[in-house]
Structure 1
């Protein structure tokens, strides 16, 4: 990945600075706040006194006000039990964890220098679901990394089915000068990469569709984001787990939390009715 080379070393903002900004955002009426980091699990290691991300998450969630909290991204190699417990324990923290897997093949993960195996990743997913039963797990998946065999790719498809992601950002590997992968042998032909991304998207679409069907008939808190221009007189918003929902309501509810009962599902898109 070229990103760490471009961004440089990670730097942690002081917890007091983060809390001050959050309080101001809440006072200004913001309803959703996202804590961002290349790897939030590294937060606080360069601060004195040391502060963990789990501690920061708990402190931010304790700020008074009607808002909800998201964070990204957590590297699977060091997502701690403390962070998982903080998500489970704090109602303001959305039950949504972005956990980039990149590949479902242990061999490809080794070549990527990801520092975890397929089995370790799936065990982590199982642990998260045990502590946060209604969690929505999202991910990033790359196809066509140098040396990826058909079996490696099939392992990725199998992992997608087992992990049951709410959604996944799927993309094709592209060579970047300055990265170790640039000079690796067995670069995958473009046609094969294109075929694999098509198959991966189809696989994830089926998983998303299955999850969507389980949501029908249930009621979720949704933050109204605005009009959905694809449909007439329709508003949209997202659940805590990050799922997009379409429904009818007045524009005066934009920026407010409403309860929506899911009436039907069409793959990644949900349709519902606002309820009291």
Structure 2
């Protein structure tokens, strides 16, 4: 939520920062409503958009029927995600009938993938802006104000939004996302992201540390460093000296992800540090040793495997095989020990996947025993390498059956891991009230496990030691101990 102050020409954001408004900006009475879908990066981008629009005199609202401008930050990774957006546009079209001056815009990956097609197919849409075009939103909105449709889906080779202080939307003031890089170079055959977010570029590390420092000073207790592939983070000061005024000098050493992790962790021991997402081909021992060296770097690694079969992994262009992935699992266990949680992504029914290859995925799950996973069946995305080269030949009924087997196995492994936590004491950062009762708090362990416990006399943002008494496959339950 953003609070406007008419006399002082300022906005006060939810994180306490003040945004000045220049005299030539529009009146303060235009209201902005944002909906975000998909990955954590999209939610982080929405906070950047909110900051840009606050500078233009927009006030944030939680209710779309109050808004003068509705922006939907979209995901294009699966067809179901796009259909969800189209259904929301039907709702906003009804609002537009009641409110003809309402502006509706599509942001993010779906905007980049479909571009002007969205303006033609969805008459309710007034503007389309890709992930690298958010600075241009004021101009696009001005164009719509003049009665024209507006679009900018230009993909940048440099844009990182490093100089924009995000406005933390719907924040409890405890946890926050920090984008450390944009784009992806991996070109997995099933994935649309390289085409919607462009090539990799890493953000100035000193701007990342500065953002984390300010968040900690504002009372935040945890930051999550975000990137499509954080392990490939690489910043070269000599190449970026003109564009990054925050760095110390062009003679600074190159900084890779292990060094960046340490820089953020050293801000304060009471600031937790998480990161997402890792790629098995780039997960280095240096990162693992850095995680071990700092107590406040959370002991959880999201390491998507996608398939347990080497032939399928090659078709997916994942650039590693089953043996390589297992070696990385061994490295995690050897360096960080069995208490480090590992999660994954799984795709069931990729092109030409056989029953034996599906069984390889199940056997890999038994070998690794993931703490939790994100699981889907294959959804062909137009424009990807897989859509151009391979036939989507696994029947949907087979995909769904294989997915149900993966889900059942994962549920068993998750329950097994959670049962091991019973009678243990875990440090938990209190994030919010429990979904079911305001008499209980909810927080997470270092291993990213959700814990629910009686509220007592504690407050959101406290670290507490919780004795785990029982669990289910998704949640730990317990009581606070002294």
Q: TM-score, normalised by structure 1?
A: 0.96
Secondary structure of the residue aligned to 1:178 is coil
Looking at structure 1, the residues matched to 403 and 438 of structure 2 have their Cα atoms a distance apart, in angstroms, of 33
1:189-268 to structure 2, matched below 5 A, reads 189-231=395-437, 233-250=439-456, 252-268=458-474
Work out which of the two has the higher radius of gyration on C-alpha atoms and give 1 or 2.
2
Looking at structure 1, the residues matched to 306 and 237 of structure 2 have their Cα atoms a distance apart, in angstroms, of 30
RMSD over aligned Cα atoms = 1.4
The structure 2 residue matched to 1:4, chosen from 159, 170, 194, is 194
User: Is 2:317 aligned against 1:127?
Assistant: no
Looking at structure 1, the residues matched to 436 and 407 of structure 2 have their Cα atoms a distance apart, in angstroms, of 22
For residues 72-91 of structure 1, what are the alpha-carbon distances to aligned partners after superposition, in whole Å with 9 as ceiling and x for unaligned?
A: 11100111110111111111
1:155-166 to structure 2, matched below 5 A, reads 155-166=360-371
Maintained 8 Å contact 2:204/2:235: no
| Aligned-pair CA distance for 1:252 | 4.4
1:65–1:84: structure 2 CA closer, same or farther, 3 Å change rule? closer
Secondary structure of the residue aligned to 2:370 is coil
Using CA pairs below 8 Å that are at least 6 residues apart, which structure has the higher relative contact order?
1
- Which residue is equivalent to 2:350? 145
User: Is 2:318 aligned against 1:114?
Assistant: yes
Looking at structure 2, the residues matched to 173 and 246 of structure 1 have their Cα atoms a distance apart, in angstroms, of 34
Maintained 8 Å contact 1:12/1:46: no
Which shifted more, 64-73 or 142-151? 64-73
Q: TM-score, normalised by structure 2?
A: 0.56
| Aligned-pair CA distance for 1:41 | 1.4
- Which residue is equivalent to 2:214? 24
Looking at structure 2, the residues matched to 45 and 64 of structure 1 have their Cα atoms a distance apart, in angstroms, of 23
| Aligned-pair CA distance for 1:264 | 0.9
Runs of 4+ in 1 over 6 A off after TM superposition: none
| Aligned-pair CA distance for 1:64 | 2.6
User: Is 2:241 aligned against 1:36?
Assistant: no
Structure 2 unmatched ranges of 5 or more: 1-190, 239-252
Which shifted more, 166-175 or 62-71? 62-71
Maintained 8 Å contact 1:12/1:47: no
1:80-99 to structure 2, matched below 5 A, reads 80-99=284-303
Maintained 8 Å contact 1:205/1:267: yes
Which shifted more, 185-194 or 240-249? 185-194
| Aligned-pair CA distance for 1:186 | 5.2
> If each structure's helix is expressed as a fraction of its own residues, which one has the higher value?
1
1:178–1:86: structure 2 CA closer, same or farther, 3 Å change rule? same
| Aligned-pair CA distance for 1:230 | 2.4
For residues 207-249 of structure 1, what are the alpha-carbon distances to aligned partners after superposition, in whole Å with 9 as ceiling and x for unaligned?
A: 0111111111111000111211224622211100000111102
Residues paired across the two proteins, number? 276
- Which residue is equivalent to 1:154? 359
Maintained 8 Å contact 2:269/2:296: no
Secondary structure of the residue aligned to 1:274 is strand
For residues 178-222 of structure 1, what are the alpha-carbon distances to aligned partners after superposition, in whole Å with 9 as ceiling and x for unaligned?
A: 111113035211111111111110000000111111111111000
Maintained 8 Å contact 1:166/1:208: yes
Structure 1 unmatched ranges of 5 or more: none
- Which residue is equivalent to 2:278? 74
1:111–1:177: structure 2 CA closer, same or farther, 3 Å change rule? same
Secondary structure of the residue aligned to 1:93 is coil
Looking at structure 1, the residues matched to 453 and 347 of structure 2 have their Cα atoms a distance apart, in angstroms, of 33
